[in-house]
Structure 1
Amino acid sequence: MFAAPSAKGTVPFGDYRTWYRVTGELDSGNPPLIVAHGGPGSTHDYLLALTALAEQGWPIVHYDQLGNGGSTHLPERGADFWTVDLFLDELDNLLQQLDIADDYVFFGQSWGGMLGAEHAVRQPAGLRGLIIADSPASMPIWRAEALRLRGELPPETQSALNHHEAAGTFDSPEYQQAMFAYYQRFVCRVDPVPPELATTFIALAGDPTVYRTMNGPNDFHVIGTLSDWSVVDRLPAVEAPTLLISGRYDEATPATVQPFHDGIPDVRWEIFEESSHMPHLEEPELFLDVMGDFLGSLG
């Protein structure tokens, strides 16, 4: 279904290992596109559709961030370990280990886009372009918008969510069913769930350490260490040309994306009219066209 990797393996990251997958050839002439998944705590699987860009001559580097997928799992680690700086250091290390730090493009989806913004405000010399897909610039705005979106759900669904959140019974089947109703509207509107997304959901359920520590039990009840995160005031420091992507029905609502558009000097914003949080799965052909146009514009 997806292009076969030209290379895959792990690189050392201190005492740990980061798993990666390359599609295409890193020395093909175009800067590689490094792909960062969401979560925090998801896996690369649901973003494998981006391998199609290798057919256009863009090498693609997927990786699993520490704590998930093929990278080192550390379920015993607490909140003081799982920090934004940890994942920034992991990204820098991966770029160096793959010898692409001097010339690359960064794509981040959801949390991956938040990570990309944090990376870009530090003005890395090799960052040729930045794509922030379905990401908030501020978690307080995200939390407020999630509360508004919950209000669009049926009353009985809202009641189930409120009841189990008050009780802390997040693993209740009733709560899980209500959570899925939210996800069907605002996360991925494809039915049935695409298999690559199901693979990521299964992996996340198998080791939720990072996700539950930094985010919370789900996308709309954010009670983890990222709950007050914001990059809004630092966005003018982003020097790289930037593409913003979001869906019309995205849980990353226009209000959550707007600060990126307002703050980043060289930016364009593409809203996918038939998508929620995953335009790469919901409108794949248009998504690849938009990505190809942006990558081609980088010169």
Structure 2
Amino acid sequence: MSSLKVREAEADFNVPGAGKPCKTWYKVYGTLPHPHNPPLVLTRLFDVPVIVYDQLGNGRSTHLPEKNGDVDFWTVQLFVDELHNLLNHLNIHDNYNVLGQSWGGMLASEFATRQPKGLGKLVIAGSPASTLLWVKAANELRKELPKKVQDVLNKHEAADTTTDPEYIAATNEFHKRHFCRLDPMPQSLLDGFAWIEKDPSVCLTMTWSMVDRLHNIQATTLLINGRYDEAQDIVVEPFFQRIPKVRWVQFADSAHVPQLEETERFMQVVWAFLRG
């Protein structure tokens, strides 16, 4: 890793209705063929350049807290446009693969339904085909929590006091089982939660489903989830049933982040898929 060339910069992103200039922060590992801070482990997957980026409203990209709750602004199309803009900025729109984890996989699948030029292969990891399925699975998993934890969650949700430390502690019990089973939780994940806490504009606004459009994905796809994942089988199964060319791999010892919980196997599976 010490010899790997790393570059970070920003891409201008013209967003109608934003009311101010917007930029997408990104980092490139390796050298491009042309002149949300995910875990660094992802950069070990490939002997080709890897690009990671923070989406609008997150991380080091432009934040728009004044748009909190604006469903006409925070749309899936906005983030699809941002990805196109970044590909064009980097001049790689003719040849690339896309790996998306959790919400990133939701976006990646939406992006792929448009059958964009240059898209090679697609990896969808721990992502729901709809937010309704996500909520349904979460509700079932909550029933397996200790009753006292369930009671705390229910009490604070009913009272709309979900910032209370007691509620946050109960939520962490869920995360230990179904988000990341590593103890302690890696700092990269804690940093991600901190960014959401600072600016929850996107997370509190968007709802989504694409079950009826999955057949439009023509890219060969790898579908991933963990045995203990928030993205339970019922959440990801529509991808498997409706994408024409798809393979599904489940990680037996992982929850929502197998790239951290089973790093070596994750790298082997994804790399073999991209090379195949």
- Unpaired segments ≥5 residues, structure 2: 15-20
Count of residue pairs the alignment pairs up: 267
Distance 2:117 2:65 in 1: 34
Give the structure 2 partner of residue 282 of structure 1: 261
Counterpart residue identity of residue 196, structure 2: L
Contact kept? 2:102, 2:126, Cα under 8 Å = yes
Alignment of 1:230 onto 2:236: no
Detail structure 1 runs of 4+ shifted over 4 Å in the superposition.
Answer: 1-5
- Whether contact under 8 Å (1:2, 1:49) holds in the other structure is no
CA offsets 1:224-269 (integer angstroms, 9 cap, x no match):
xx1xx21111111111000001000000000011100000011001
- Identity over aligned pairs, percent: 50
Match in the other structure for 2:199: 207
Instruction: State which of 40, 53, 74 in structure 1 corresponds to 2:64.
Output: 74
Q: How has the CA–CA distance of structure 1 residues 65 and 274 changed in structure 2, closer, same or farther, with 3 Å as cutoff?
A: same
Residues 1:17 and 1:270: Cα distance change in structure 2 (over 3 Å): same
Does residue 16 in structure 1 map to residue 9 in structure 2?
no
Q: Distance in 1 between matches of 2:3 and 2:54?
A: 18
| 2:17 equivalent in structure 1 | none
Could you list the per-position Cα deviations for residues 175-220 of structure 1 after superposition, in whole angstroms to 9, with x for gaps in the alignment? 0001000000000000001121122222222222222223xxxxxx
> How far apart in 2 are the matches of 1:81 and 1:2?
41
* SS class of match (1:261): helix
Verify the 8 A CA contact 2:106 2:127 in the aligned structure 1.
Answer: yes
Deviation at 1:270, TM superposition (A): 0.6
Mapping of residues 167-178 of structure 1, within 5 Å: 167-178=159-170
| Kept after mapping to 1: 8 A contact 2:225/2:256 | yes
Closer/same/farther in 2, CA of residues 3 and 188 from structure 1, 3 Å limit? farther
> How far 1:291 moved relative to its partner?
0.9
Tell me which residue corresponds to 2:248.
269
Quick one: distance in 2 between partners of 1:5 and 1:205?
Answer: 32
1:211 is paired with a residue of what secondary structure?
coil
Return the alpha-carbon distance in structure 2 between the equivalents of residues 17 and 249 of structure 1: 36
* CA distance, structure 2, for counterparts of residue 49 and residue 296 of structure 1: 18
Q: 1:275 to 1:151 in 2, by over 3 A?
A: same
Pair 1:2–1:207, CA change in 2 (3 A): farther
Secondary structure at 1:162 match in 2: helix
Counterpart CA distance in 1 for 2:216 and 2:58 is 31
Match 1:191 to one of 165, 183, 189 = 183
In structure 2, what is the equivalent of residue 223 of structure 1? none
Matches of 1:63 and 1:8 in 2, distance apart? 9
Identify unmatched segments of 5+ residues in structure 1: 29-42, 215-225
SS at match of 2:115: coil
In structure 1, what is the Cα distance between the partners aligned to 2:166 and 2:248? Answer: 37
For 2:111 and 2:266, the matched residues in 1 are separated by 23
Alignment of 1:33-182 (within 5 A): 43-45=36-38, 47-53=39-45, 56-78=46-68, 79=70, 80-182=72-174
Relative to structure 2, which stretch is displaced further, 76-85 or 91-100? 76-85
Report if the CA contact (8 A) 1:2-1:51 is conserved: no
| Partner secondary structure for residue 209 of structure 1 | coil
1:234 and 1:75 map into 2 onto residues whose CA distance is 31
Q: In structure 2, what is the equivalent of residue 294 of structure 1?
A: 273
Go from structure 1 to structure 2 and tell me whether the alpha carbon gap of 1:147 and 1:3 turns closer, same or farther (over 3 Å shift): farther
Aligned to 1:210, what secondary structure does the other structure show? Answer: coil
